[in-house]
Amino acid sequence: MSSLSSAVRDLQRELENKTNDLSKLQKDIAKNHQVRKKYTVQLGENELVLKELDLLNENANVYKLIGPVLVKQDLAEANSNVRKRIEYITAELKRLDATVQDLEEKQNSKKDAILKLQQRIQSLQTSKAKA
């Protein structure tokens, strides 16, 4: 009977550890979603800037804000910079998507493991009650 109680206690400790791991995974997923949201907003802003730059004629003045100062910039250079920024943000979004997918797979496997542990604990407690 005491070995059954100790088995239940061990399983409950394991369940607690797995639950803590699941909680950490969920926090990581939430954090990744926040970062992804930020990048998505930046991507939209940069695409809008690119559209605006495409509307300008070649001899238009373009200025870049550096700290508190507006500095004149070549249109081609500005265009190139914005395109590079869009490429970078797109690559980061793809990386974040892969990371989130991996974390969600880990989360699902943790949930399955927790469910199995809960079922084992329940069956041990049921057999303990019958004894």
Angle (deg, nearest 10), helices 75-130 and 2-55: 160
Per-residue pLDDT reduced to its tens digit, 53-87: 999 998 899 999 999 999 999 999 999 999 999 99
Per-residue pLDDT reduced to its tens digit, 101-119: 999 999 999 999 999 999 9
Burial of 82 (0-12, 13-18, 19+ CB in 10 A): buried
CATH of the domain at 64: 1.10.287.370
pTM score, whole prediction: 0.78
How far is the C-alpha of 6 from the C-alpha of 74, rounded, in Å?
74
Residue 2 has pLDDT above 70, yes or no: no
Residues forming a β-bridge with 71: 64
Q: How many domains does the chain have?
A: 1
- What pLDDT, on a 0 to 100 scale, did the predictor assign at position 4? 73
- What pLDDT, on a 0 to 100 scale, did the predictor assign at position 33? 96
Binning pLDDT at 50, 70 and 90, where does residue 131 land?
Answer: low
Domain extent for 75 = 1-130
Average pLDDT over residues 27-55: 97
